[in-house]
Amino acid sequence: MWCLELLIPLLLIINASGQWNVWVPRDISAMTNSCVVIPCTFMYPSGIRPYRGIHGIWYFGQPYPQLFPPVVFKSRTDVVHESYKGRTKLLGDLHQRNCTLLINNIGTEHSGRYYFRADLGGANMYTYPDFAELKVLDQPNIDVPEEIVSDESLELTCYAPDNCPDMTPEIQWMYTDYLPDPEFSSDYLEESNTAVLSSTLTFTPRPMHNGQLLGCRVYYPNTTLVYERVVSLDIKYPPRSVWVNVSSEVMEGSSVMLHCEVDSNPPSRISWMFGDQELLWDTASNVSLSLDDVTPANEGIYTCVGDNGYGIMNTSLYLAVKYPPREPEVNNSMTVLEGTSLALHCSTQGSPAPTLTWLKDGELVGTITADELSVLEILEITPQGDGQYRCLAENEHGRASSSLNITVEYAPVLLEESKCTVVREGVQCVCMATGNPEPTIEFYLPDLNITINETDGKYNFYTHTDGHTSTGMIKLREKGERMDNGGPAVNVHCSISNVYGRESVLLELQQEKKYMMAVIVGTIGGVAVIAFIIAAVRYVGQNNKKENGNPRQDVVLENPALYYSAVKKDKQNLRKKVLKTELLGSKFNSILEETTGEDGDYQPVGSMAGLERQELNYAALEFIGARPREGASGRGDDGGNYSEIKAK
């Protein structure tokens, strides 16, 4: 038993800084009708000089005087709350900064928080916020484990507070005669000047001890104060066995019944578990779980758990659900830069496990995987990797697929169709490039230090975009100076650019194939026609002379015009090219004409209009206004003779 002299060392904790501080035990307990001592020391600022002595007040429940809390003790007067009249006494000396309080004959209504207020005179009053919480017990505490399992060692501990100076408690265990080899031990715990006496009973329970009573008695010698507490032992033993159906397979949409029986004493709480989810439970000897309209989500391990509180036993079964593949989960559509490496994931569920196939634009890529996860790796993707990727999942019950689009961005690339061509009215320059984003096309004339990137009447700048391909075209109406070889001098640069790069190239000058072919064919055709006409005229004249014996009468040509088509129409109605040749005596002219648009300017050519270059296939000759010889027969009355010259 501690005594008041133990409080003397506590005075040493007073801080030299002289602030308002108090020390009291946070928790303290006592038995009803006994007493309790609340140890207390306090301090105040060193600059304060009490001029009317030091006084103190103990409050219950609240630290603020304006809230009118019950007064437990007041050193100036004996005015206290009626529930504390004649019960309280200050054991400490306030001038020694000792505020220890004694409360006698306490009851459960005195349980609560206690605050100390120092009164040094005038305005030097302060209620300390720290408190001591008192718990008044009407019976001792017995520490009983939450689980008492058969055949395992058990410890029960009984506690009694010892915070009353003049009374020392003692502890006895009751109803222990039936226990097998019980052991008793005592302990005395003292902390923060509060004391607790404890007694521990140790034994090994058996199933037969279930429901037996055990008690703890606390009493104070030489008094009539006796306190008892009795507990009923709840001895449990685990379930003996758990039986369930065997594992089975069912088809999606069907129904199945799962049974579970548990042998235990007392009856167990039987629960059906699916993973961590409890589907059904009941306290009984058996429980059946019914699953209707089974889906793939119902496939898995089902566990029947028998739990009687202190013993658990379980048995599991596997329920397999057969179903077709579900829609695969794939990456989101993405835009990547050329050279990036990708990993495309495809996952699905199906029973049995489906095969996964990757298709790009309908063609097989990668390998076929017999699993629920397939990864397609694309190393350093190129522009050709741009397109739709589809993951196809298949098993014996069906198929499903999902798609994503990959857009590959890359620096512009100049196409081989880019060049300058001599045409009738000048030089036409075409620049074609592919890239993503679509390239921007500009023309630069270094001789004139001019950049052409917008429409103007002088250069007829034109641009067109088709997908990732951009086309630019200008027409130089002046062919420029002649070079040493007699050709036109053209110095045109094409600049292509997007966010990933820029390139500038000098466009190569080429003669227009159609123009040259027309001239060549026209020349050859003209010579052939002249020779043919001369031969025909002579042959006819000779025949007439032989037959009629008349003088020769030649065919008179009144400015006959010879027409033939330069280009045969294809299936896509390509542009017409007409080559007109006039024959007057020995004079031969060949002129190439190109069809123009409504505005008189050039129409889009090459890939801009989706056209293909066509070569000259044949030419047809038409004689207009020829006068036949007299007496000629076997001819039509349209006055025209026709022949066909075919050039390849």
Which band of pLDDT confidence, cut at 50, 70 and 90, is reported for residue 610? very low
Query: Same domain, yes or no, for 154 and 177?
Result: yes
Q: By the 8 A CB rule, do 99 and 91 touch?
A: no
- 418 occurs within a structural domain: yes
Give the C-alpha separation, 268 to 239, whole Å: 7
Does the structure show a pLDDT above 70 at 287? Answer: yes
Strand order in the sheet with 342-347: 329-330, 342-347, 373-378
Query: Same domain, yes or no, for 350 and 456?
Result: no
Residue 284 has which token pair? 């009984």
Does the structure show a pLDDT above 80 at 410? Answer: yes
Cis before 266 (ω within 30): yes
Rounded to 5 degrees, what angle do the CA atoms 283, 287, 293 make?
A: 135
Helix (H) or strand (E) holding 279: strand 277-283
Residue 299 has which token pair? 């496939």
Beta bridge pairs of residue 216: 173, 229
Task: For residue 235, give the nearest of 215, 262, 208, 213 by alpha carbon.
Answer: 208
Query: Same domain, yes or no, for 427 and 468?
Result: yes
Query: Same domain, yes or no, for 127 and 164?
Result: no
Does the structure show a pLDDT above 70 at 630? Answer: no
Cis before 437 (ω within 30): yes
Summarize pLDDT for 61-87 with one digit per residue, the tens: 988 888 889 999 998 888 899 999 989
- 558 occurs within a structural domain: no
Mean pLDDT lowest among 52-66, 298-312, 447-461: 447-461
Q: By the 8 A CB rule, do 62 and 115 touch?
A: yes
Domain boundary among 233, 252, 284: 233
pLDDT for residue 309: 73
For 209, 244, 287, 304, 428, the CA distances from 239, given in Å and listed in that order, are 18, 14, 15, 12, 97
Summarize pLDDT for 342-376 with one digit per residue, the tens: 999 999 988 898 999 999 998 999 888 888 899 99
Give the C-alpha separation, 313 to 568, whole Å: 93
CATH of the domain at 295: 2.60.40.10
Pick from 11-20, 27-36, 607-616 the range whose average pLDDT is largest. 27-36
- 262 occurs within a structural domain: yes
Which band of pLDDT confidence, cut at 50, 70 and 90, is reported for residue 540? low
Query: Same domain, yes or no, for 348 and 270?
Result: no
Domain boundary among 210, 233, 256: 233
Mean pLDDT of 497-517: 77
DSSP string, 224-267: S-EEEEEEE---B---SEEEEPPPEEEETT--EEEEEEEE-SSP
pLDDT for residue 457: 60
- Selected residue with higher pLDDT from 625 and 112: 112
Helix (H, G, I), strand (E, B) or coil at 115: strand
pLDDT for residue 367: 83
Query: Same domain, yes or no, for 132 and 146?
Result: no
Give the C-alpha separation, 351 to 10, whole Å: 76
Give the C-alpha separation, 57 to 55, whole Å: 7
Place of tokens 């020349």: 523
> How many domains would you assign to the chain?
5
> What range defines the domain where residue 185 resides?
141-233
pLDDT for residue 46: 84
Q: Taking the mean position of all CA atoms in its chain, how far away is CA 633?
A: 92
pLDDT for residue 511: 65
Task: For residue 91, give the nearest of 127, 58, 124 by alpha carbon.
Answer: 58
Give residues with Cβ within 8 angstroms of 84, minimum separation 6. Answer: 60, 70, 71, 72, 73, 103
Q: By the 8 A CB rule, do 616 and 581 touch?
A: no
pLDDT for residue 578: 30
Place of tokens 């025209």: 640
Predicted TM-score (pTM) of this structure: 0.41
Cis before 182 (ω within 30): no
- 592 occurs within a structural domain: no
Give the C-alpha separation, 150 to 214, whole Å: 16
Summarize pLDDT for 220-232 with one digit per residue, the tens: 998 999 999 999 9
Mean pLDDT of 415-428: 87
Mean pLDDT of 412-427: 88
Give the C-alpha separation, 579 to 128, whole Å: 117
